[in-house]
Amino acid sequence: MNPYDPQRPSPPESFAGRARLIAQTQEYLERGRVQQFSAAVLVHGHRGSGKTSALRKIESLTEAAKGDTLAVEIPLHQTSSDADLLRSIVQELHSAVRRRKEDRGRWRTALERLQSVNVSVLGTGVGVERSATDTSSNPLTLWRECLEALEGMATIAICIDDAERLNAAGVGTLKTIAESRSPVPVLLAVAAGPEMVRRLATHEFSPVARAFSGATFDMEAFSLTETREALEAALRPSHATGTWSDGAVRRIHDLSHGYPYLVKCLAHAAYRDETRLTEHDVERAVPLALETAAPWLERELSTASDGDIRAFVRIARSERDSLRSSEIIELGINSVYIGRLVKLGVLKKVAPGHYELHKAPVIAYYHELKRRLGGDGRAPRSRGLGTDAGAGS
C-alpha cells in the first residue's frame, strides 16, 4: 500500500513540521480556554505549499483541545462576498453542531438555540429580509446571533480555505470575524495564496492585516528535517513497512527543494513496502513522479527556455515574492531574463524596477527536474538518468 497521496492535503496525523504554526495555534487554544480569548491566524503560500494541510491540522488541534471545542472548514470555490462568507460559516456551524448533538447535552442546547437563527435567508446578500415580519436582520446580525447561541462552549475554530477568492467586502469581514466581541472564543484561521498577502499590504486593507499581526505564516519549503518528517510521518498511520535511508531523504529534499507537493510526488513514486529505500530508488522514480505531477504542471511554462527555468528557479529559491531588479541581478540572473519572465507571466512588473512573483515555485522545480537542469549544488546527479538538459533554448 502506498502511504503517499500527492493530490490530497496531508491528514493531520501525518502532518509534518511547521512547528511555529502549531505552537501558536496551541497557545491560542489555551488562551481561548482560560481567558475567553479570540484570535486569528493567516497561513499563506503558493499552490501546493501546504495551506489546506495546515488548516486541517489546526482543525484537528482544536478538536483535540480540552472542552467543547468545534472546528468548521469553509472552502471558497468561487468569488465570495461578505454575505456569502457569513452564510457559509453559519451554515457550517449549524451542521457541525447538529453532528455533535448526540455527544453531550450542551451541544443539544446549542443546536436548539442555533435553530432559532434563520440561516435560510442568507443567500441573497446583505440587508435581506429575515422573515415577513422582520426586516432588520442582515448576515452580520445572524452571525452574532449564531455566536450567542454557542455561548458557553470552548473555542470555535473557523477555517477559511482559498480566501483569495473573497471580494473586498469579504476580506473586510475577516476583521469583523476576528474582532467580534464574542461570547464564545473564536479562532479564525485563514489560508490564502500570495495575492492575499499583497492585498493585505495595501492601505485599504491594513486594518484587516492588523487582525493577523503576529500570526501570519508563510508556508515555505520544508527544511531537510521537515522533509524527513513528512516522509516518515505518513508511514505510521498506514502501517506501511518501507523505510527511507538518509540518502533517499536527502535526494528527495534536493530534487524537490523541500517543496511539499513535489516531496509527496517523489515519495509516492519511489515508495515500496518492505524495502529500505535508497537514493538510487529515488532517482529511478523521477519519471514516474513527473508523470504524477504532469496533469497540473505540464501545461505551465511549456514554451519557456532552459535559461528561463533556471532564472525562475533562482528567484523561487530566494523565497521572495517581491523583488527589485537589482535584487534579481544579485541572484545571478542576467537582466535579459527579467523581461522574458515578465512575458511568461512568472514576474509581474508593479512599478519601475519592481517585480512580484506570480507563479508558484513548484512550476520551476518541476521543469528543472524534467529537463535535468539542476544547478546551485542541488544538481540531479548523473546516476541513472543523466544530466543533459532535455529541452528548450
Ligand X SMILES: Nc1ncnc2c1ncn2[C@@H]1O[C@H](COP(=O)(O)OP(=O)(O)OP(=O)(O)O)[C@@H](O)[C@H]1O
Distances (CA, A) of 219 to 37, 52, 53, 388: 25, 11, 10, 32
Contact stretch for ligand X (CB under 6 A) within 196-204, 258-266, 278-286, 379-387: 258-266
Q: Which ranges of 278-360 does DSSP label H, i.e. alpha helix?
A: 279-297, 306-317, 325-330, 336-343
Under DSSP, is residue 9 helix (H, G, I), strand (E, B) or coil?
Answer: coil
Here the cell at position 224 is 531537510
Using CB under 6 A as the binding rule, whether residue 52 contacts ligand X is answered as yes
* Least spacing, CB of residue 4 vs Mg ion, in Å: 17
In the list ligand X, Mg ion, none, the entry touching 264 (Cβ below 5 to 8 angstroms by class) is: ligand X
* Least spacing, CB of residue 285 vs ligand X, in Å: 16
**Which neighbouring-strand residues pair with 45?**
none
CA distance 64 to 54: 15
Using CB under 6 A as the binding rule, whether residue 260 contacts ligand X is answered as yes
CA distance 232 to 246: 12
186 and 150 in contact (C-beta within 8 Å)? no
Binding mask of the shown chain, residues 18 to 47, with x at each position contacting ligand X by CB under 6 A:
x--------------------------x-x
* Least spacing, CB of residue 194 vs ligand X, in Å: 10
253 and 378 in contact (C-beta within 8 Å)? no
In the list Mg ion, ligand X, none, the entry touching 194 (Cβ below 5 to 8 angstroms by class) is: none
CA distance 313 to 199: 25
* Least spacing, CB of residue 362 vs ligand X, in Å: 9
Using CB under 6 A as the binding rule, whether residue 48 contacts ligand X is answered as yes
Which residue matches cell numbers 508523470?
291
In the list ligand X, Mg ion, none, the entry touching 198 (Cβ below 5 to 8 angstroms by class) is: none
Q: Please give the residues from 30 up to 59 whose contact with Mg ion meets the rule CB under 5 A.
A: 51-52
In the list ligand X, Mg ion, none, the entry touching 362 (Cβ below 5 to 8 angstroms by class) is: none
Residues within the interface to ligand X (CB under 6 A): 6, 9-10, 15-18, 45, 47-53, 230, 260-261, 264
Q: Which residues bind Mg ion (CB under 5 A)?
A: 51-52
